[in-house]
Amino acid sequence: KQEVTQIPAALSVPEGENLVLNCSFTDSAIYNLQWFRQDPGKGLTSLLLIQSSQREQTSGRLNASLDKSSGRSTLYIAASQPGDSATYLCAVAQGGSEKLVFGKGMKLTVNP
């Protein structure tokens, strides 16, 4: 059974820091991996999707990498801002399955 882990569960940093958020998964036979952002009381917004054949994806200040063999993905946030404060979740689509398995998320607070 696929398990997705995000450690730590919460992180508080001062504005301007470059951040690395971690996601690990137990079964490397994945179809793709997505990083999501969730603001309090809101739904999830997909930030980046990495197909299993890709190594990384970039969008603005965000860069996500994928290492299937080691079962890891990282989300890099450059020059963090208070507006980046949110919960970040990663999810993997299992190969041959239409279902995503989510991590429990990491709550990020960027202090001015």
Binding site residues, another protein, CB under 8 A: 31-32, 34, 36, 41-46, 49, 51, 89, 91, 93, 98-100, 102-105
Nearer to another protein, 14 or 60 (CB): 60
Q: Which of 100, 21, 103, 101 is nearest to 64 (CA)?
A: 21
Closest CB 25 distance from another protein, rounded Å: 13
In the complex, least distance from residue 6 CB atom to another protein, rounded to whole angstroms: 9
Of the pair 40, 112, the CB lying nearest another protein is at 40
**Sign, Cα dihedral of 47, 73, 9, 95:** positive
Instruction: Encode burial over 95-105: b for 16+ CB neighbours within 10 A, e otherwise.
Output: eeeeebbebeb
Residue 15 or 104 with smaller CB distance to another protein: 104
User: Token match 């995000």: residue?
Assistant: 6
Strands 10-14 and 106-111: parallel
Local structure of residue 104 (DSSP, 8 states): -
| Least spacing, CB of residue 13 vs another protein, in Å | 22
Q: Which is nearer to another protein, 3 or 15 (CB)?
A: 3
At 32 the three-state DSSP class reads: strand
- Smallest gap, in angstroms, from Cβ of residue 15 to another protein? 27
